[in-house]
Amino acid sequence: MRLARRHKQKPSLILFTTCIGLAKIQCASSFLATSSHCVAKSSLSPPPNALHASPPSSSSAQQQLRIPPGALGPPEPLKSLQVGQSANAFRSLQNTAESADQGTHTQNPSSSQTHQFTIQRVSHSPEIFHLHNFLTPQECIQIMSMAKQSGMEQAQTVTEHDSTSRKNCRVAWLPSSNSSPYELVGNLVSGTIHGFLSAPVHAHSSSAVEDLQVLCYGAGGEFVPHHDGEARILTVIYYLNGVGGTWFPLARGKEERHPEEDTNGWDHRMPVNKGQALEMIRDLVPGKDGLLVRGMDDTSSKEEPKDRIVSITQGDAIAFYNYLDDGSARFDWTAIHCGLPTTEEEGGGEKWIANHWYRLNVLEET
């Protein structure tokens, strides 16, 4: 797993140690505690089922990439969770009591604590998981203040040449690093990757995580429906102030588990490009259709069916997969989603979230 600055990779290479049990995921690793296990990825030979690119002489770029089915989705035990089922998980918290050391802040690895969170599947298509209590309230506050300190700028996200797709939103990027003062950001990565990335992806030399994108929407701020884009196989959104409002209009709930049993017509619900996806969601309504991730204070759709709503609180996260898991290496267009306009009622009109994007850069070349 490389640490990447947005699309550019940094040279630092870190291998994390994490135990994954059959019944539960244990993410007990931290950068500080596992520093003796750091291994340069280039020194690892890929496992037998690994992804690989054929020599450049192959006929087309698409043919060069061999993606085993299952590699771009969740590994076990998450893969086997049904909608509504949960697994307990742990990650190590760094000691927040920092000590001054020659003008810099250092942390004592021996004092790291284990933090428990719960991972619940909330959709099968796309694969979406709700991470209850992933961050502590203190960690949320720390991320928001680091973003403010680094100087937030107006977000200029461009989607399909449209730079107005994200409205009234400020952004900061924090390094996904294990170096001071960003250890917390790196710690979130180590708490996620082994549970959520398959072994072939994790072992691949082009796997990477982008810097943490911290976003603060003002009143009425929004992000129009979009797919997160090339090579971003896994998105993790952290909810930093308890305000939600992320909507997946095409997400499928419990009753739609098996495509072969889907009497509503599976094919009609699997768009193959953005145009089809936008057409399909045109008349859909947040709370009634798809899956709405909303804050506890959001009272706008109290009457809606429970299995269409995921209620988050501060420190919760959502993890979802952006590619189909069938070996085709194609976008999963059911992962189309948006940030709904923020309202004055929730969070005083401010919505704070942060995104981590886990990449498999070799996908960009196809």
Ligand X SMILES: O=C(O)CCC(=O)C(=O)O
* Interacting residue ranges for ligand X, rule: CB under 6 A: 223, 228, 245-246, 337, 339, 353, 355
d(CA 81, CA 118): 12
- Least CB distance to Fe ion at residue 62 (A): 25
Task: From 273, 284, 278, select the one nearest 331 (Cα to Cα).
Answer: 273
Nearer to Fe ion, 127 or 228 (CB): 228
- Least CB distance to ligand X at residue 90 (A): 26
In angstroms, how far is the first alpha carbon of the chain from the final one? 20
Contacts 24+ apart (CB under 8 A), 101-108: 104/180, 105/180, 105/181, 106/180, 107/32, 107/183
Q: Cis peptide before 77, with omega less than 30 degrees from 0?
A: yes
Contacted by 331, from Fe ion, ligand X, none: CB < 5 to 8 Å by type: none
Contacted by 339, from Fe ion, ligand X, none: CB < 5 to 8 Å by type: ligand X
d(CA 95, CA 177): 17
At residue 266, what is the residue type? W
Q: Which of 183, 228, 298, 332 binds Fe ion (CB under 5 A)?
A: 228
Residue 332 near Fe ion by CB under 5 A? no
- Least CB distance to Fe ion at residue 169 (A): 12
- Least CB distance to ligand X at residue 132 (A): 18
- CB-CB neighbours of 307 under 10 Å: 14
Site string for Fe ion, 18-57 (x = CB under 5 A): ----------------------------------------
Nearer to ligand X, 27 or 214 (CB): 214
In the bound state, the residue with its beta carbon closest to ligand X is 339
Nearer to ligand X, 198 or 342 (CB): 342
- Least CB distance to ligand X at residue 228 (A): 5
Chain Cα centroid distance, residue 67: 20
Nearer to ligand X, 245 or 286 (CB): 245
In the bound state, the residue with its beta carbon closest to Fe ion is 228
Contacted by 246, from ligand X, Fe ion, none: CB < 5 to 8 Å by type: ligand X
d(CA 101, CA 162): 47
- Least CB distance to ligand X at residue 236 (A): 11
Contacted by 200, from Fe ion, ligand X, none: CB < 5 to 8 Å by type: none
Span of 120-128, 142-150, 154-162, 220-228 interacting with Fe ion by CB under 5 A:
220-228
Cα dihedral across residues 300, 303, 308, 310: positive or negative: positive
Nearest-10 crossing angle of helices 137-150, 183-190: 130
Distances (CA, A) of 14 to 177, 189, 213: 10, 11, 20
Q: What is the DSSP letter of 281?
A: H
Contacted by 353, from ligand X, Fe ion, none: CB < 5 to 8 Å by type: ligand X
Residues that bind Fe ion (CB under 5 A): 228
